[in-house]
Amino acid sequence: MKEIDFTRIAKIVNELEESYSDRVGVNLTGEEMIPRRDEIIAVTEKLLEIIFPGYQRSFEGAGTAALLIDIQSELSNQICRAMRRREKSTCKCASCSASCSDNGDCGHAVYKLLEQLPEIREITKLDVAAAFAGDPAAANYDEIILSYPGLKAITIQRMAHVLYLEKVPLIPRMMTEYAHTQTGIDIHPGAAIGKGVFIDHGTGVVVGETARIGDNVRIYQGVTLGAVHFPKDACGMLIKGNRRHPTIGNNVTIYSGASVLGDITIGDNSVIGGNVWLTESLPEGTKVTATPPENRRKQMQ
């Protein structure tokens, strides 16, 4: 039979199954469950609908409650999966394999998040205003809400950050990675971000796990708020979770391509120029520009 070569296929299946059975951690072939990426994305979009009502589809009054309960139900299911995956036997959601009818513990973090949504909305209004004040191309608030990637990335991160603080596994990062995919802006859910923050264009921006960003900060494309060293423990394993990223003060502007690295502090009202490479703290009100490389010009024939 020429159409499909069952012998070849069977051999590949056998080899794959052997590969699946060693359980080094890149397969989930038994009954374990893991948060589903498509569900996380769906919930994230619903959360954005709460924050920006009417911008994705026409607003319906009673819809807010329905959306919240929907989010509560779906997100706690996913958290349940994430927690159960981490803790297996110790999960308090006894029945969360198929359905999660008592999602007490799993639901806790969701309520925390839902309860912060009104405050996040207030902060987000400041973000929108900051974008309008900071970009001559921004015609009005609508345009910012509908098409500015920085606003989307920050808003998603603000919500993921609440879950991060509640020590929800896996899901906060899945949320910010969704934002990364959509915007090219990669903000770790651990970062603490102030009010009225504006990231313009944003592609290539990286903000590390322990970074802190003050109020009214403006950041351009390609900026990294990263780490310099990764200390290891006695066994040569990376020490995880320690502070290793910068703290940015209020009213700071960081132009495109700048790298601000390590556990340093940038004082309030500072300005960091394009392509600056900075590994030391700056006092308040400092303006730093990179000496541009001397451009060599020649006239072409």
Please report whether residue 58 would count as binding its own copies according to CB under 8 A.
yes
Contacting its own copies (CB under 8 A), which of 2, 88, 234, 235? 2
Contacts of its own copies in 124-153 (CB under 8 A): 124-125, 128-129, 133-143, 145-149
> In angstroms, rounded to a whole number, what is the distance separating the alpha carbons of residues 104 and 92?
8
| Alpha helices, DSSP H, located in 140-278 | 141-147, 149-165, 171-183
Query: Per-residue x/- marks for its own copies, 100-129, CB under 8 A?
Result: xxxxx--x---x--xx-xx--xx-xx--xx
**Residues 198 and 219 sit within 8 Å (Cβ to Cβ):** yes
Short-list 83, 85, 145, 135, CA closest to 109: 83
Residue 87 within binding range of its own copies, rule CB under 8 A: no
Q: What is the DSSP letter of 184?
A: S
Between 151 and 194, name the residue whose CB sits nearer to its own copies: 151
CA–CA gap between residue 181 and residue 179 (Å, rounded): 5
Count of residues that bind its own copies according to CB under 8 A: 160
* Binders in 279-298 for its own copies, by CB under 8 A: 282-283, 285-298
Residues 10-39 that bind its own copies (CB under 8 A): 10-20, 24-37
Q: Which residue is listed with tokens 């911008």?
A: 55
Collapsing DSSP to helix, strand or coil, 225 comes out as: strand
Determine, following the binding rule CB under 8 A, whether residue 223 of this chain makes contact with its own copies: no
CA distance 80 to 103: 7
Per CB under 8 A, contacts with its own copies among 156-195 are 169-170, 173-174, 176-177, 180-184, 186, 188, 190
Name the DSSP letter for residue 282: B
Of 44, 78, 221, 247, the one binding its own copies (CB under 8 A) is 221
Binding flags for its own copies, 63-82, as an x/- string (CB under 8 A): xxxx-xxx-xx--xx-----
